[in-house]
C-alpha cells in the first residue's frame, strides 16, 4: 500500500506537469486563450468552490457559454491541482451519443491529448477509454446501465448530469436513482447542468441545492415570422381557393385540432389569439408553413427560397435549418442538391446533422467551409442545445419537432411532428447570435408562436415505460409504481400499469412483478425489450443471422427509399424482394443479403440506386448487426463467430416465428374480404397498412395473423411494417412460453383468441399443450 501511495503521488505529479507543458506550448496557449474567453471561465473559482462545499449544485447558463466542455475540465484540473488527479473519477452524462462523442473529442483536443488518455467516452456499443481515463463522457443510458452492476458507483467522485432542462426520460430516471444514492455516498458530488432557466425545479427536488448561473453573451437576433419571411423572399402566395390538395387540407385540420387541445394549456385562448391576429387572413399563409411537413409540398419550396434569399442577399455566415427528422432532412437535401445554385458545391456546402451519423461526418459540421462557400446545416432539434456550431448567423426554424407522444389510453406511441414550445423556439433563435448579430426565420406566423406551450412535456410523461420498468426491477429499486412516484413529475398510473402488463405478457416479469430469467437477460441488452427478445430467441433457435438483420433494421430505420416523384417505381422495386412471402421483415433480409452480395462484387451503389435503397442505411444496419452480435457474445448467448452464425438459409418459417416471439403482442387479425382485407387489433379495432408495407399492396393475405413492430396513429391507426404468421406460430411463439408455465401462456393467449373469436384455435392449443407437456415431462 505504501508502494501504491508512492505510485499515485508520482502519477499526480506527472499529470500536473503534463498539463503545464501543454498549456505553455504554442497550440496549448492558443487553446487556453480561447477557453478563457468563454463566459464560464469568469465563474470558474466560484463554481469549484460551490461544488466543494455542497453535495449537489445546479448550474445554468446560455448555450455555448462553456458548461459542457469547460466545467468537467475545471473539476479535473482542480483535482489535479489538489493532487487527486490520479484518483478522481468524473462522469459527465449526455442525452445523446453524438454529443457524448463530439464533446469528449473536443475536450481531449483542448487538453492536447489523444482520446482515451485522461478523457474518454462511452456510448452504447462503442467507446474509447483507457486505464488512466479520469473524465468520462457517456450517455445517460450508459450510467444507468453501470448502476445495474454497481449500485453505489464505487470510486466515482463526481457525477455531472448535463442538459437536464430537456427532461429526457433517462435523465429524470437517473435523478431519482442519484437522489437515493447521495445519502449512501456523502463524499460523491452531483452537478446538474441546464441551458434554460428552470433551475428552481431541480434545486427544490434536491432539497434546495444552490443554483449557480453563468451569465452569457449572445448577440441580438432579429426575428422574422412567416409574414415577414414571405415579404422578404418575394414568395408568391397561393390564393386560398386554389389550394385544394386533400392531404394538406387534412393535416391542416389536424393542426387546428391540436391547437384546440393545447388551448387549455395556454393562458390566452388560441381562438382569441388567432382572431386577434386576423387569422382568416393568415390561414393561407399558415398553410404554407404547415405544408413544410409534406415533402412534396410548397413547404420545401419555401425553405428553398429562404435559403436562396440568404445566399444571394445576405452577409456571409453559416445557416442552420431545424427540421423534424432524418427523412425530412434527406428529402430536403436531395431537393436542394438538384437546384442549380444551391446544389453547386463550389458555392454551397449542404451538411446533414443527425444523431445516428458517423463521427467522421459529424466533424464537417464544426469545420469552417472554404472562403466564399456558404455552409448550410440541416439538423434536428439536437442542434438546439447540445451541439454548438460557432459560425451560424442564420437560423431557419420550421417550428416543429418529432416527439414521441404516448397515448396511455389506447397504449399507442405516436411519433408525429408537433409544434415546438416557446422555450425551444427561443433556443433555436439563440443559435444565430453566437458570433455576431443574427437573423432567425420562423416559418410560421407570430400568432402561431403565441399559441405554443411554454415548455415541452417531460419525456417520462409521454413515452412508453417498458424499458424503464425493466431497469427499475433489475437495479432492484423496489416497487415500480412507488419508485416512479418519486420522480420530478410522475407518469400517469395507467402508463405505468400498461408497461408492467406488457412486460408480464412478454414474459419478462412474473405475476408478482419480479424479473424472470428472460427479464434479467433483457435488462442486460441495451435495446427495447421486444428487440432483445427477438435476439435471444434468434440465438436459441439458430437463425441469428437473419434475426440480426431484422433487429438492426428495426433499430436504424427503413433502408427502402420512396422519393415522392418515383413512388410507384420504388414500390415495385421493393416488391421484388418480398417474393410474396407477406413480410416486410423478410423483405428487408433479402434486400440486405442482395446488397452484401453486390458489395462483394463492388457494385453496392449501383444495386442501391437500382433498387431504391439507401446505402447509408444499409451500412448502418451492417455495423449495428455486428455490434448486436458482440453484445450477445458478451452476455454469453452465442459463442460462434459472426460469419459462422447460422447463415441465412435457415427455415423461413422459423424466422417468422422468432419475429413473432419478439413482436407479440403486436398482433393483428386478418380477414380477407371480397375486395379488401379487414385488419383488427385488440386495442384499436380496425387498422390499416401503410402502402409502403409489402402487405399494404396485397389484395389477399393467406395468413390469419400479422405481427407488427410499429403502429402509428394519424387519423386512423396504421401499421408501418408487418410479417404474416400462421396459427401455429402464434400459438407456440406468441407471448410468454418460457415463464409462468404453459398454463399461464394459455390463459394469456386464450384472452387474445377469444377476443378475435377464434375459440377453435384455443381448442387446438389445449391439445397441442397436452402433447407438449407430455414431451416435456418425458
Ligand atoms: P454549453 O455546454 O454551455 O452549451 P459548450 O461547452 O458545449 O457550451 O461549448 C463552449 C464553446 O466551445 C462553444 O461556444 C464553442 O465555441 C466551443 N466548442 C464546443 N465544441 C466544439 C467543437 N467540437 N469544435 C470547436 N469548438 C467547439
Ligand atoms: Mg452543453
pLDDT tens-digit map of 487-497 = 999 998 998 99
Say what the pLDDT of residue 273 is: 30
State the pLDDT at residue 628: 86
353 CA distance to ligand 2 centroid (A)? 17
Q: What are phi and psi of 676, to 5 degrees?
A: -145, 180
Tell me how far apart the alpha carbons of residues 535 and 529 are, in angstroms, rounded to a whole number: 10
Answer yes or no: is the C-beta of 64 below 6 A from any ligand 1 atom.
Answer: yes
Looking at the CA of 386, which ligand is closest? 2
Computed on alpha carbons and rounded to an integer, the radius of gyration of the chain in Å comes to: 27
Given pLDDT bands bounded at 50, 70 and 90, which one contains residue 766? low
Query: How confident is residue 176, by pLDDT bands cut at 50, 70 and 90?
Result: very high
Counting ligands in written order, the one closest to the CA of 95 is 2
Q: Which residues surround ligand 2, an ion (CB under 5 A)?
A: 67-68
pLDDT tens, 682-696? 888 899 998 888 998
Q: Which of 116, 157, 124 has the alpha carbon at shortest distance from 142?
A: 124
User: How many angstroms separate the CA atoms of 402 and 291, rounded?
Assistant: 15
**pLDDT score of 278:** 32
User: In terms of C-beta density within 10 A (0-12 exposed, 13-18 middle, 19 or more buried), how is residue 155 classed?
Assistant: exposed
Q: Is 388 in the pocket of ligand 1 (CB under 6 A)?
A: yes
Of residues 174 and 293, the one with the higher pLDDT is 174
65 within ligand 1 shell (Cβ under 6 A): yes
Most confident residue range from 293-297, 417-421, 766-770: 417-421
In this predicted structure, what is the pLDDT of residue 209? 96
Could you tell me the distance, in angstroms and rounded to a whole number, from the CA of residue 97 to the centre of ligand 2? Answer: 13
* Cβ of 430 less than 6 Å from ligand 1: no
Is the CB–ligand 1 distance for residue 669 below 6 Å? Answer: no
Q: Between 82 and 453, whose confidence is greater? A: 82
Per-residue pLDDT, 38: 93
Q: In whole angstroms, give the CA distance from residue 764 to residue 519.
A: 29
Determine the average pLDDT of the residues in 115-143.
93
Burial of 47 from C-beta contacts in 10 A (0-12 / 13-18 / 19+):
buried
Of the bound ligands, which one is closest to the alpha carbon of residue 216? 1
Helix (H) or strand (E) segment spanning residue 429: helix 422-430
The reported pLDDT for the residue numbered 279 is 32
**Residue closest by Cα to atom 23 of ligand 1:** 106
Ligand 1 contact, 734 CB (< 6 A)? no
Taking the CA of residue 363 as reference, the ligand 1 atom at the shortest distance is: 23
Q: How does pLDDT run across 343-370, given as a tens digit for each residue?
A: 999 999 999 987 666 666 777 888 888 8
On the question of pLDDT at 249 being above 60, the answer is no
Average pLDDT over the chain reads: 82
- Could you read off the pLDDT of 313-324 as tens digits, one per residue? 899 999 999 988
Residues 142-162: tens digit of each pLDDT? 998 898 789 899 999 999 999
pTM metric for this prediction: 0.72
Closest ligand to the CA of 162: 2
- Give the three-class secondary structure for 462: coil
- Rounded CA separation 351/377 (Å): 5
Among 38, 76, 136, smallest CA distance to 388 is for 38
pLDDT of 128 > 90? The answer is yes
Which residue has better confidence, 285 or 62? 62
Compute, in angstroms, the gap from residue 421 CA to the centroid of ligand 2: 19
Nearest ligand to the CA of 434 is 1
Are 583 and 701 a contacting pair, CB within 8 Å? no
Mean pLDDT of 540-564: 86
Distance of CA 114 to the CA centre of its chain: 28
Question: For ligand 1, is residue 67 a contact (CB within 6 Å)?
Answer: yes
Predicted confidence band at 511 (pLDDT cuts at 50, 70, 90)? confident
Ligand 1 pocket mutation pick from 44, 199, 366, 388 by most atoms within 8 angstroms of CB = 388
The pLDDT value given to residue 282 = 35
- For residue 63 and ligand 1, the question of a CB distance below 6 A is answered with yes
Q: Give residue 388 CA to ligand 1 midpoint distance, Å.
A: 6
CB-ligand 1 contact for 390 (6 Å cutoff): yes
pLDDT at 546: 93
pLDDT by residue (tens digit) across 696-744?
Answer: 888 899 999 999 998 887 778 899 899 999 888 888 888 665 444 555 5
CA nearest ligand 1 atom 21, residue: 106
Task: Quote the pLDDT of residue 19.
Answer: 92
Burial label for 104, CB within 10 Å (0-12, 13-18, 19+), is: buried
C-alpha cell at 524: 442486460
Judged by its nearest atom, the ligand closest to the C-alpha of residue 105 is 1
Instruction: Check whether 518 has a pLDDT greater than 90.
Output: no
pLDDT surpasses 70 at 563: yes
- Look at residue 738 in the predicted model and tell me its pLDDT: 44
- Among protein residues, the one with the nearest Cα to ligand 1's atom 18 is 388
pLDDT for the residue 364:
82
pLDDT of residue 395: 96
pLDDT score, position 756: 63
**Grid coordinates of 353:** 446533422
Q: How remote is the CA of residue 64 from the centroid of ligand 1, in Å?
A: 5
CA of 230 to the centre of ligand 1 (A): 33
Give the least confident one: 124-138, 422-436, 576-590, 757-771.
757-771
- Pocket of ligand 1 contains residue 69 by CB under 6 Å: yes
Tell whether ligand 1 has an atom less than 6 A from the beta carbon of residue 258: no
Kindly give the distance from the C-alpha atom of residue 402 to the centroid of ligand 1, in angstroms, as a whole number: 25
Mean pLDDT of 197-218: 89
| pLDDT (tens digit per residue) in 600-647 | 999 998 999 999 998 888 988 898 888 888 888 877 888 777 766 666
Assign 59 to helix, strand or coil: strand
* Least distant ligand from the CA of 65: 1
Q: Give yes or no for residue 382 having a pLDDT over 60.
A: yes
Evaluate whether ipTM surpasses 0.95.
yes
Q: Is the CB of 366 under 6 A from ligand 1?
A: yes
Query: 65 alpha carbon to ligand 2 midpoint, in Å?
Result: 8
Q: What percent of the chain has pLDDT over 90?
A: 42
Rounded to the nearest angstrom, the distance between the alpha carbon of 556 and the centre of ligand 2 is 26
**How far away, in angstroms, is 380 Cα from ligand 2 center?**
16
Whether residue 106 has its Cβ less than 6 Å from ligand 1? yes
Grid cell locating 252: 391542416
Classify each residue of 199-227 as buried b or exposed e, where b means 16 or more C-beta atoms within 10 Å of its C-beta. Answer: beebbebbeebebbebebebeebebbbbe
For residue 71, give the ligand 1 atom closest to its CA. Answer: 6
Amino acid at each position: 500500500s505504501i508502494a501504491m501511495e508512492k505510485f499515485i503521488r508520482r502519477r499526480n505529479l506527472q499529470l500536473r506537469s503534463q498539463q503545464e507543458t501543454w498549456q505553455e506550448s504554442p497550440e496549448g496557449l492558443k487553446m487556453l486563450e480561447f477557453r478563457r474567453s468563454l463566459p464560464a471561465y469568469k465563474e470558474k473559482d466560484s463554481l469549484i468552490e460551490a461544488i466543494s462545499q455542497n453535495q449537489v449544485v445546479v448550474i445554468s447558463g446560455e448555450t455555448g457559454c462553456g458548461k459542457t466542455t469547460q466545467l468537467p475540465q475545471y473539476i479535473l484540473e482542480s483535482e489535479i491541482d489538489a493532487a487527486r488527479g490520479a484518483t478522481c473519477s468524473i462522469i459527465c452524462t449526455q442525452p445523446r451519443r453524438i454529443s457524448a462523442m463530439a464533446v469528449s473529442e473536443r475536450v481531449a483536443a483542448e487538453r492536447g491529448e489523444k482520446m482515451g488518455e485522461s478523457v474518454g467516452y462511452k456510448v452504447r456499443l462503442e467507446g474509447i477509454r483507457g486505464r488512466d481515463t479520469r473524465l468520462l463522457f457517456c450517455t445517460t443510458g450508459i450510467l444507468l446501465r453501470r448502476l445495474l452492476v454497481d449500485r453505489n458507483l464505487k470510486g466515482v467522485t463526481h457525477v455531472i448530469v448535463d442538459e437536464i432542462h430537456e427532461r429526457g426520460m433517462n435523465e429524470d430516471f437517473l435523478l431519482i436513482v442519484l437522489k437515493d444514492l447521495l445519502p449512501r455516498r456523502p463524499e460523491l458530488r452531483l452537478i446538474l447542468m441546464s441551458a434554460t432557466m428552470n433551475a428552481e425545479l431541480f434545486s427544490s427536488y434536491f432539497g434546495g441545492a444552490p443554483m449557480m448561473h453563468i451569465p452569457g453573451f449572445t448577440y441580438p437576433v432579429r426575428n422574422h415570422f412567416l409574414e415577414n419571411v414571405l415579404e422578404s423572399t418575394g414568395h408568391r402566395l397561393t390564393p386560398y381557393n386554389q389550394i385544394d390538395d386533400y392531404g394538406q387540407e387534412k393535416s391542416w385540420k389536424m393542426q387546428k385540432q391540436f391547437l384546440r387541445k393545447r388551448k387549455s394549456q395556454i393562458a390566452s385562448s388560441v381562438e382569441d389569439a388567432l382572431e386577434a391576429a386576423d387569422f382568416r387572413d393568415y390561414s393561407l399563409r399558415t398553410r404554407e408553413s404547415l405544408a413544410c411537413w409534406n415533402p412534396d409540398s410548397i413547404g420545401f419550396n419555401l425553405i428553398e427560397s429562404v435559403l436562396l434569399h440568404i445566399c444571394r442577399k445576405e452577409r456571409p455566415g453559416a445557416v442552420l435549418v431545424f427540421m423534424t427528422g432524418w427523412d425530412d432532412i434527406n428529402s430536403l437535401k436531395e431537393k436542394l442538391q438538384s437546384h442549380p445554385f444551391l446544389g453547386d458545391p463550389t458555392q454551397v456546402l449542404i451538411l446533414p446533422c443527425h444523431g445516428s451519423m458517423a463521427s467522421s461526418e459529424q466533424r464537417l459540421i464544426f469545420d469552417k467551409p472554404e472562403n466564399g462557400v456558404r455552409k448550410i446545416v440541416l439538423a434536428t432539434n439536437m442542434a438546439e442545445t447540445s451541439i454548438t456550431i460557432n459560425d451560424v448567423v442564420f437560423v431557419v426554424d420550421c417550428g416543429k419537432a418529432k416527439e414521441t407522444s404516448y397515448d396511455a389510453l389506447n397504449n399507442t406511441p405516436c411519433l408525429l411532428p408537433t409544434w415546438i414550445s416557446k422555450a425551444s423556439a427561443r433556443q433555436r433563435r439563440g443559435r444565430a447570435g453566437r458570433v455576431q448579430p443574427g437573423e432567425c426565420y420562423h416559418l410560421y406566423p407570430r400568432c402561431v408562436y403565441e399559441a405554443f406551450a411554454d415548455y415541452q412535456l417531460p419525456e417520462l410523461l409521454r413515452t412508453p415505460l417498458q424499458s424503464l420498468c425493466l431497469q427499475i426491477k433489475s437495479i432492484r429499486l423496489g416497487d415500480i409504481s412507488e419508485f416512479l412516484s418519486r420522480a420530478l413529475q410522475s407518469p400517469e398510473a395507467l402508463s405505468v400499469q400498461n408497461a408492467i402488463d406488457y412486460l408480464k405478457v412478454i414474459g419478462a416479469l412474473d405475476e408478482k412483478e419480479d424479473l424472470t430469467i428472460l427479464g434479467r437477460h433483457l435488462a442486460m441488452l441495451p435495446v427495447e425489450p421486444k428487440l432483445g427478445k427477438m435476439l435471444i430467441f434468434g440465438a436459441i433457435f439458430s437463425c441469428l443471422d437473419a434475426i440480426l438483420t431484422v433487429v438492426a433494421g428495426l433499430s436504424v430505420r427503413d433502408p427502402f427509399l420512396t422519393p415522392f416523384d418515383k413512388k410507384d417505381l420504388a414500390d415495385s422495386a421493393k416488391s421484388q424482394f418480398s417474393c410474396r412471402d407477406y413480410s416486410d421483415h423478410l423483405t428487408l433480409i433479402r434486400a440486405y443479403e442482395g446488397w452484401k452480395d453486390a458489395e462483394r462484387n463492388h457494385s453496392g451503389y449501383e444495386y442501391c440506386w437500382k433498387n431504391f435503397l439507401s446505402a447509408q442505411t444499409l451500412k448502418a444496419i451492417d455495423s449495428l448487426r455486428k455490434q448486436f452480435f458482440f453484445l450477445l457474445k458478451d452476455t454469453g448467448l452465442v459463442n460462434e463467430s459472426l460469419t459462422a452464425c447460422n447463415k441465412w438459409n435457415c427455415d423461413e418459417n422459423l424466422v417468422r416465428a422468432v419475429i413473432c416471439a419478439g413482436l407479440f403482442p403486436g398482433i393483428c387479425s386478418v380477414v380477407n374480404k371480397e375486395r379488401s382485407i379487414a385488419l383488427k387489433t385488440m386495442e384499436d379495432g380496425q387498422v390499416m397498412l401503410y402502402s409502403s408495407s409489402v402487405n399494404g399492396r396485397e389484395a389477399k393475405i393467406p395468413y390469419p395473423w400479422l405481427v407488427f413492430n410499429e403502429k402509428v396513429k394519424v387519423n386512423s391507426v396504421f401499421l408501418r411494417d408487418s410479417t404474416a404468421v400462421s396459427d401455429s406460430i402464434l400459438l407456440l411463439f406468441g407471448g410468454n412460453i418460457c415463464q409462468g408455465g404453459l398454463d399461464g401462456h394459455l390463459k394469456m393467449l386464450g384472452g387474445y383468441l377469444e377476443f378475435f373469436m377464434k375459440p377453435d384455435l384455443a381448442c387446438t392449443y389445449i391439445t397441442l399443450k397436452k402433447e407438449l407437456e407430455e414431451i416435456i415431462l418425458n
